[in-house]
Structure 1
């Protein structure tokens, strides 16, 4: 029976090459989109799942409330990690991590400095995580003091090869060399960890500051702690036990409450939006945070594209059904049962889907390298987890069934006598189903067109809106050593003498900062108001001129005279109830380096000398927050950048001169720079990728929908051939006939627009709420999307309509 189904199905595919090609092309487009988006979504959902015990690994997260001020920090104390595995039966083991500041990592035999951020971890790190070692013993690699493991990339950069086991490295934060005890394989792209080196925690056990940490640190935010729980343990129960363990050994300050919870490793990528990584154990600059909303959007997009391809198959098959009625009648007369006919049509559907699936795999294999480059992924069809193929094949089988079931049920129920008389399929119910499917297709297509347009406009807004400062032609140079900081006046003076340099400023952070920002608690001196929270930048007197920030009231800094002066933005002025900058004294008693606040030994009491216009110093996803600009000689934050505004002439030459100045003042400090506008664009690079991905999916959707519309137009004109012949004989014009044939289809697209507009309005406005600053969706977006859908639909059906309208009526009326 299967053999018979295959022969008949194959012959039908070959007999109607145009129909078969349209079906295969439509399904191929749908499956290609489904596979590409599916790979992207699967990759996002399987972040960090390559570890064998991933289901049992949890990150310890602290929930702290200080007098109503709530923070969530992915950090904990040394003793919590150490004692949990001894005091809590469900905890099999734990590991601690610290991330150092950037410093030089040097091969003593070839002292070329490389600026690196080294991770410090205890000996259990490689027991919990399955980061593969190319060389080295994972049980002992991080056990001995002065040990370090590095990845392939770092080994190649420093030594030019990877066989460097046993060699020494000098880290500028340490007085002793580090022995390389392991070579790490490069991390997979879908990992929340991207360190290039890990140093043994035992390297610090003899240091006085670490000895104190080992004996008394119960509640700091100095470590990121991961716990491996025993099988079938309840993480909520373990969280409560951890909280009780800490509180039994540590008494928090009055008004402070805290507790711990365990965050599953698999949730780190997609569910950490409100969690601050206080110990900075991942390189947040290069691992974009996942967004569950986009995962949902893309998942539904993939399914809708595949479903639209199935609807397209149904419409095209039904349009061709009239040519097979006699075949079905003969089969019924010679004894074919309805179940045999249903099986035949379903098998043909699966055969067509299987061919499209094979073609789609070939297409995806060809385009995947470009897709990976665009999406910043390492996706592969042939190394992906087998679960992906199970889901994909299940979806293809279901789509094949849905594609063929309607036409199978429709054609198999007709009586043989009617079929052999040459019945034309004019069932009102069948027609209404087909038109309904076309409306559904175009509804989804119009929603996706509107979504793509809105995302395009929002990304354009993010990249081109006025930020309140000038980001163009701004070179930002990292300051990595004390020499470059202490000698900054000389360096600034040398830079200013370069003809193509307009202005130079030194700051602790820059607008659009990608690193953690320092925050302080502040209020007007003598005020009984609650302490407010403000961000703080250390700046110099040239900051406003260099960044072109507007001073609204008061004055700018003046040399060392203003070491205890500050300038605030409008938002901070409102928080402090300051309308004029008249040297009011404010009190700053506490600061935060990214985690919880710590009290200053001596409160900082600066004078407010100026108010600047609000500018966006963070992503446009965030509302402008209070900001304090403190003079560079302040007790909160030292300088970390040189910001140089240059002229648009001989930029490479200018960069070489800037590099020469930096190297001459500190030969050990490599010249690291970037252009500020490029760095700011990285905030929205994921939005741009998603906009492009959604745009291509929308194009595929509208293309497939048009194939379905073409099928319906073919079916409809086939039924009306004699009517058109009569009308032409009676004097109807070609234009009038084309209008007659097109009118009904354009009504379907109009109905689809009416359904799509409110859905798209709700969905896009909900998505835009992610951004504190966003576009307003104008009426013209809906008009444009609707007009595009109408235009594309008209082009699709015009060929069939014109061909029928200009045909010789004699051919259609000859049998009458």
Structure 2
């Protein structure tokens, strides 16, 4: 029977090539969008699931609450990491790592060197996690001192081969030791939160005083710590036991509370938005984290696109219903049960959907290379693809065929054979109302997508073009990556300033758009009884204001070493301290923090006392998602920060020559120093890179929904024209013009689009304003955005139905009135 259904379906589809093509095109388009978004979402939702013990791995999250602030950080102290497995039976093992800054790793054979983040890992790191090994023992590779494990890609860069186990490398961080490569790991998957290039064994540095002192450390946040819990262990109970162990051994300052929770490994990527260091594991520059809001948005969008494609099929199928009345009547008169007819039409839907599905798979594979480059992922849809993706795809195929074919099947099979053979038209009001409702739904979604796209586009442009309080263009930032360069900074700065293409040069500890943590300090006026304020701190020199074009509003600039104990405040910091005029007011800075809890500036617990000499305008040193916070500009030589960057304002002519000259100057001070640089505007753009990607995706999905909705509207226009063919004939006989008939037929659809606009506008207003709440500084949703989207929907709808309307209006009335 099924084979017979398929044969009849193929015959019916081949006789109506236009409708078949429209159905297949709509479904193929919808399925292509659904599969592409599905692959993207699957990748996001399966982060870090390549580890076999993933369900038992939890990350330590420390919460520190003081009278002045609260800090949540993805880290722990050494003792919490080291002692917990020894005292808590629920914990089977501990993995930890720590970043120690950047240093040159060199291949002694050819002096090939690369500046990379130094990442220290304990032996448990390779026992808890399944980092796939290419060569060497992947479980014991970090057991011994002076051992290093590197990824295949880094080994290729350093040695031009991955066959490097047993070879040695040197590290500027510990120049007196040769490090032996004990294992080579396969490159990290794209959906992994770990992206270190190499791991140095923790045992290598345990003899240093800094690491020996950590045996008494219970309260810091030095380590990224992961606990492997035993089977059936409750993470909540394990966290309680960790907190009990902490309370028994730690003595925080009065008024300070420290506690821990355990975050599942699977939650790290999507649930770390409010955790300091929550998205970084081993590489300082790895800051991309998932956002659950966007996951939900794109999941809903994917379902809507597929639903709109199914609605399109329903409308086109019901538009053809009148033409198939005799076929259905003959089948019923010959004894066909309703179930047989339902099976026939569902089979027809399955055939159309299957063809559309195959075309969608082909289309997905054609666009995946560009899609991967655009999203920064490594997605695929082939024989090696995760079986769960194929299971999802086949499920989508079945549901789509059932959903799109069910309504036409039940509609076409319910009429009596007598009425069908008399060519009675399907004019049931409930059926017509449902089809109109479906078109309203399609265009409602399309209009919401159009408004959202305009808002997202405008916000991204606003972020990129907003006045940041300084001039970001042509600022060349050069990293300071060695002690020799840091010590010779004054000489290098002077030599940079002599280059014809360099206008100004400044030395700073951090720069706006920083990917490293900007330190925090507590500040208060000396003698004030108010609680200390929390502020960011930058170490700068006297050239900072001129180089970055930051305006000095009041007071004076730094005048050299004499101002080592002076500070300049931004407007927000001055307001927080109730300072209107800088007049050498004394400020206490008792504590500082580098991404974790606060610690005294001096070991003696004395405050760093400074004088306020100036106030500068507020400038954005973070994403515009963040409100401008208090900022203290301290002179470059201070007990909190050290200089890390040269920033040169260049004229933009012959950049390669400028870089070559800078490199020559720096290697003159330190021959092993690698020139690492970036343009500040490029770095700032990274804040909004994901928004730009989402903007582009939203544009394409909006076009897809509009295209599929237009196919559905075309189907309904065809249906309406066929239902009113005699009415049109009568009107023409009575003198109606082609224009008036076209307007009559188009008017009905215009009403549907206007209803869709009325529903879409409040939904779009709510959704876009909800998204804009992510930004401390954002555009306003304006009336013209809705007007443009609404008029675009009306224009597209009229353009779509005009063909059928004009065609119906131009039919010879004699032919229309004779047809039976």
Task: Report the count of equivalent residues.
Answer: 815
Alpha-carbon distance between aligned partners in 2 of 1:16 and 1:189, rounded to the nearest angstrom: 46
Q: CA deviation at 1:303?
A: 0.2
Aligned ranges 1:738-757 → 2 under 5 Å: 738-757=742-761
Q: CA deviation at 1:15?
A: 1.0
Say yes or no: does 1:531 pair with 2:535.
Answer: no
Over residues 365-385 of structure 1, what are the superposed CA-to-partner deviations in whole Å (9 max), with x where a residue is unaligned? 111111000011111113332
Alpha-carbon distance between aligned partners in 1 of 2:142 and 2:7, rounded to the nearest angstrom: 65
Over residues 342-380 of structure 1, what are the superposed CA-to-partner deviations in whole Å (9 max), with x where a residue is unaligned? 111111111111111111011101111110000111111
Structure 1 counterpart SS, 2:28:
helix
Structure 2 alignment gaps of length 5 or more: none
Structure 1 alignment gaps of length 5 or more: none
Partner of 2:541: 540
After alignment, is 367-376 or 350-359 more displaced?
350-359
Write out the 4+ residue segments of structure 1 that deviate beyond 6 Å after TM superposition.
Answer: none
Q: CA deviation at 1:287?
A: 4.1
* Partner residue of 1:721 out of 722, 725, 732: 725
Q: CA deviation at 1:68?
A: 5.0
Q: CA deviation at 1:282?
A: 3.5
Say yes or no: does 1:613 pair with 2:614.
Answer: no
Aligned ranges 1:286-435 → 2 under 5 Å: 286-382=286-382, 383-435=384-436
Structure 1 counterpart SS, 2:646:
strand
Compute the TM-score of the two structures, normalised by the length of structure 1. Answer: 0.98
Partner of 1:234: 234
* Partner residue of 1:685 out of 673, 682, 689: 689
Question: Contact 1:23–1:312 (CA<8 Å) still a contact in 2?
Answer: yes
Structure 2 counterpart SS, 1:335:
coil
Partner of 1:676: 680
Partner of 2:93: 93
Q: CA deviation at 1:391?
A: 2.5
Q: CA deviation at 1:286?
A: 3.4
Q: CA deviation at 1:525?
A: 0.8
Partner of 1:225: 225
Q: CA deviation at 1:278?
A: 8.4
Structure 1 counterpart SS, 2:85:
helix
Question: Contact 1:505–1:642 (CA<8 Å) still a contact in 2?
Answer: yes
Q: CA deviation at 1:722?
A: 2.1
Say yes or no: does 1:261 pair with 2:261.
Answer: yes
Cα gap change, 1:392/1:815 in structure 2, threshold over 3 Å: closer, same or farther? closer
Structure 1 counterpart SS, 2:285:
coil
Q: CA deviation at 1:479?
A: 0.5
Q: CA deviation at 1:75?
A: 1.1
Cα gap change, 1:667/1:348 in structure 2, threshold over 3 Å: closer, same or farther? same
Q: CA deviation at 1:173?
A: 1.1
Structure 1 counterpart SS, 2:105:
strand
Question: Contact 1:98–1:279 (CA<8 Å) still a contact in 2?
Answer: no
Q: CA deviation at 1:56?
A: 0.7
Q: CA deviation at 1:742?
A: 0.4
Question: Contact 1:205–1:211 (CA<8 Å) still a contact in 2?
Answer: yes
Q: CA deviation at 1:212?
A: 2.9
Over residues 744-782 of structure 1, what are the superposed CA-to-partner deviations in whole Å (9 max), with x where a residue is unaligned? 001100000000000000010011001111110000000
Partner of 2:519: 518
Structure 2 counterpart SS, 1:441:
helix
Partner of 1:785: 789
Over residues 85-141 of structure 1, what are the superposed CA-to-partner deviations in whole Å (9 max), with x where a residue is unaligned? 222121111112111100110112222331011211111111111111100112221
After alignment, is 278-287 or 619-628 more displaced?
278-287
Structure 1 counterpart SS, 2:182:
strand
Structure 1 counterpart SS, 2:707:
helix
Q: CA deviation at 1:808?
A: 2.4
Alpha-carbon distance between aligned partners in 2 of 1:80 and 1:99, rounded to the nearest angstrom: 18
After alignment, is 739-748 or 652-661 more displaced?
652-661
Compute the TM-score of the two structures, normalised by the length of structure 2. Answer: 0.98
Structure 2 counterpart SS, 1:260:
strand
Over residues 202-242 of structure 1, what are the superposed CA-to-partner deviations in whole Å (9 max), with x where a residue is unaligned? 112333332332x3222321111101111221100000000
Say yes or no: does 1:506 pair with 2:507.
Answer: yes
Say yes or no: does 1:658 pair with 2:662.
Answer: yes
Structure 1 counterpart SS, 2:328:
helix
Structure 2 counterpart SS, 1:530:
coil
Alpha-carbon distance between aligned partners in 2 of 1:280 and 1:118, rounded to the nearest angstrom: 14
Q: CA deviation at 1:815?
A: 4.7
Alpha-carbon distance between aligned partners in 2 of 1:138 and 1:426, rounded to the nearest angstrom: 72
Alpha-carbon distance between aligned partners in 2 of 1:719 and 1:16, rounded to the nearest angstrom: 18
Aligned ranges 1:794-809 → 2 under 5 Å: 794-809=798-813
Over residues 494-539 of structure 1, what are the superposed CA-to-partner deviations in whole Å (9 max), with x where a residue is unaligned? 1111111111111001112121101101100111110111000000
Alpha-carbon distance between aligned partners in 2 of 1:654 and 1:206, rounded to the nearest angstrom: 43
Aligned ranges 1:187-226 → 2 under 5 Å: 187-213=188-214, 215-226=215-226
Alpha-carbon distance between aligned partners in 1 of 2:711 and 2:805, rounded to the nearest angstrom: 15
Question: Contact 2:85–2:92 (CA<8 Å) still a contact in 1?
Answer: yes
- Backbone CA RMSD of aligned residues: 1.3
Partner of 1:437: 438
Over residues 534-587 of structure 1, what are the superposed CA-to-partner deviations in whole Å (9 max), with x where a residue is unaligned? 000000111010100111111111111211111000000011110001111100
Alpha-carbon distance between aligned partners in 1 of 2:678 and 2:361, rounded to the nearest angstrom: 40
Partner of 1:578: 579
Say yes or no: does 1:704 pair with 2:704.
Answer: no
Q: CA deviation at 1:634?
A: 1.2
Over residues 57-96 of structure 1, what are the superposed CA-to-partner deviations in whole Å (9 max), with x where a residue is unaligned? 0001111112252111111122222222222121111112
After alignment, is 661-670 or 130-139 more displaced?
661-670
Structure 1 counterpart SS, 2:260:
strand
Over residues 638-668 of structure 1, what are the superposed CA-to-partner deviations in whole Å (9 max), with x where a residue is unaligned? 1110000011322222222222222222211
Structure 2 counterpart SS, 1:118:
strand
Partner of 1:78: 78
Aligned ranges 1:545-624 → 2 under 5 Å: 545-601=546-602, 602-624=606-628
Structure 1 counterpart SS, 2:554:
strand
